[in-house]
Each structure stands twice: as C-alpha cells, then as structure tokens.
C-alpha cells in the first residue's frame, strides 16, 4: 500500500530564516506530487505541483520554491521566511490519471515568529 510522509511535524522559525520541508511517498512510482498551504481558519491553497522529476509548476507567486530531486521526493523551500508564511503545509500525491483522487500527508505546522 502507499504511504506519504512529511517532516517535521511542527516547526517554529524566526523571520528571515531558511526553510526546508520534505515529503516522500512509498509504494508507488511516478506519482503527481502537490504542496498545499492552509492558513489559520482558511481553506487549502495549492502552491506547487509536479508531474515528474525536475518538473515544477507554481500556482501562486510567493516567497517559496519547490523541487523534486527524486521520483518520490518533494521539497518545499524558502531562503527567507516571512510572518505570512506561517500555516499548515500539506503534501499530497495522486496517480496522475484524469480525475484521480489525491492522498494527503499528515502536514507540517509552521509558525514564523
């Protein structure tokens, strides 16, 4: 069966510090991968998605970037965090077929102070 991992589970970082969040998927190959953010009390917003190694699509202009160095690894980064980057970051995967469902990881709760 497929499993999706995210770490760390929680993170407190000062403004201006760098960020690296990691997501890995097990039990499937060539998945579509996604990064979402959920601000406090708000809905989920798609940040990035990837259909293959090195292929990243950005949905919103922002202070963040994403990379996919391996087939089942997806990384979210920032060089300098802003207060507005605080939120609940979720990674998800799907099998890439039209209309297919997405499966979400446990999330990382980031607080920028």
Partner 1 sequence: DAKTTQPNSMESNEEEPVHLPCNHSTISGTDYIHWYRQLPSQGPEYVIHGLTSNVNNRMASLAIAEDRKSSTLILHRATLRDAAVYYCILRDGGNKLVFGAGTILRVKS
Size of interface with partner 1, in residues (CB under 8 A)? 22
Among 11, 51, 56, 71, binds partner 1 (CB under 8 A): 51
The verdict on 101 binding partner 1 (CB under 8 A) reads yes
Among 1, 29, 40, 43, binds partner 1 (CB under 8 A): 43
How many angstroms from the chain centroid is the CA of residue 69? Answer: 14
The verdict on 61 binding partner 1 (CB under 8 A) reads no
The verdict on 40 binding partner 1 (CB under 8 A) reads no
Alpha-carbon dihedral angle through residues 15, 41, 24, 16, given to the nearest 10 degrees: -10
Q: Tokens 């099998």 belong to which residue?
A: 95
Which region among 21-29, 45-53, 63-71, 76-84 touches partner 1 (by CB under 8 A)? 45-53
H or E, element range at 4? strand 3-7
Nearest to 74 by CA among 5, 3, 2, 9: 5
């Amino acid at each position: 069966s497929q499993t999706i991992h995210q770490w760390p589970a929680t993170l407190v970082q000062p403004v201006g510090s760098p960020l690296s969040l990691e997501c890995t998927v097990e039990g499937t190959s060539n998945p579509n991968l996604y990064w979402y953010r959920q601000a406090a009390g708000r809905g989920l917003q798609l940040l990035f998605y990837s259909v293959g190694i090195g292929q990243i699509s950005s949905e919103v202009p922002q202070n963040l970037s994403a990379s996919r160095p391996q087939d089942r690894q997806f990384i979210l980064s920032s060089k300098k965090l802003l207060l507005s980057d605080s939120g609940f970051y979720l990674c998800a995967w799907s099998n890439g077929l039209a209309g297919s469902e997405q499966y979400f990881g446990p999330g990382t709760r980031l607080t920028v102070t």
